[in-house]
Amino acid sequence: MNVLLTGGAGYIGSHIAVELLESGYDVVIADNFSNSDKGVITAIEKITGKRIDLFEIDVADKVKLNEVFEQTKPEAVIHLAGFKAVGESVSKPLMYYRNNIDCTLSLLEIMEAHNVNKLVFSSSATVYGIGERLPYTEEMLLGEASNPYGATKQMIERIIMDTVSCGWLSAVILRYFNPVGAHQSALIGEKPQGIPNNLMPYIMQVANGSLPELRVYGNDYPTRDGTGVRDYIHVMDLAKGHVDALKYFQDNDGVEVFNLGTGVGYSVLEIVAAFEKANGVKIPYSIVGRRDGDLAEVYADVKKAKNLLGWNAKLTIEDMCKDSYAFALIEKT
């Protein structure tokens, strides 16, 4: 199967590309490199020994996206293109609504025009908002999104579900929890531009000396140690979930939603301690005020993915910390 990855040069997309290529799929990437760099493509090809068809385009540009479909004739799409920083979405909501919604509408219209009817969508646990209970389960009613980024994911899920109801599209919606880690080769990993918005790359930049200390946003949440609790999943486990989602289409149509997480929550300070233990590196930190849009505690119920996809996370928090640091050290040199 020939698979198009929108936003495929990004952190998650690059790891999915590796997993797809090593599972026998052909991969096409469409990316404008707004939060990634072209060196990632070279690294993917080095890891896998296989070639990628690359198109440097904005996925919202229907003319250029149509050319990609005409030239490569994908049989399925994994849609990752979009802005993803919670804090930035609060300060720049219009940018998030315009980009994330436009990319999806353009993609679906071009897919329909080319009779491409299989879509895997990169959603997020942020769609649950302030969930009615923990752990978060797929059948829960979605609460009001706590930030514009989450709101765009909710809207896109609805757009996809409404499109599926028309009869021509089948979709798997994957709600990510908190992807961390890097490929075991240390050739690809998370490399955000500027000061990181997410915890693990922030820790990495402190560990390799690029930043003096970690800023912990709030220690007055109603959690074990007062810091926010999240469900962290190794990015390679997450990538495998996308391969399983594509296989799901062999015997199923319509639309299905799956959580991808471990089912276990760790606080910010627990992650810091785990990193220090795994790598023997001290991470200095300071406590600052809460960040707009953040919730106290989020973790997944993952039984549905195990039962229907045959998928479950296998890599540990120690693996996440070690692989992240290995990539950070390579990047520093």
DSSP state letter for 8: T
Which of 79, 113, 60 has the alpha carbon at shortest distance from 5? 79
DSSP state letter for 19: H
Which of 247, 254, 264, 249 has the alpha carbon at shortest distance from 301? 264
Contacts of 201 (CB under 8 A, 6+ apart): 190, 191, 192, 324
Measured CA to CA, the distance from residue 333 to residue 115 in angstroms comes to 46
Tokens representing 232?
């962290």
Residue 270 has φ and ψ, to the nearest 5°, of -70, -35
Q: How far is CA 213 from CA 78, 140, 194, 288, in A?
A: 36, 38, 15, 12
Taking every pair of Cα atoms in the chain, the longest distance, rounded to a whole number of angstroms, is 55
Q: Is 150 left (phi over 0), alpha (psi -120 to 50) or beta?
A: alpha
Q: Catalogue the active-site residues.
A: 149
Provide the 3-class DSSP secondary structure of residue 28.
strand
Residue 270: alpha-carbon gap to chain centroid: 22
Which of 2, 4, 58, 51 has the alpha carbon at shortest distance from 31? 58
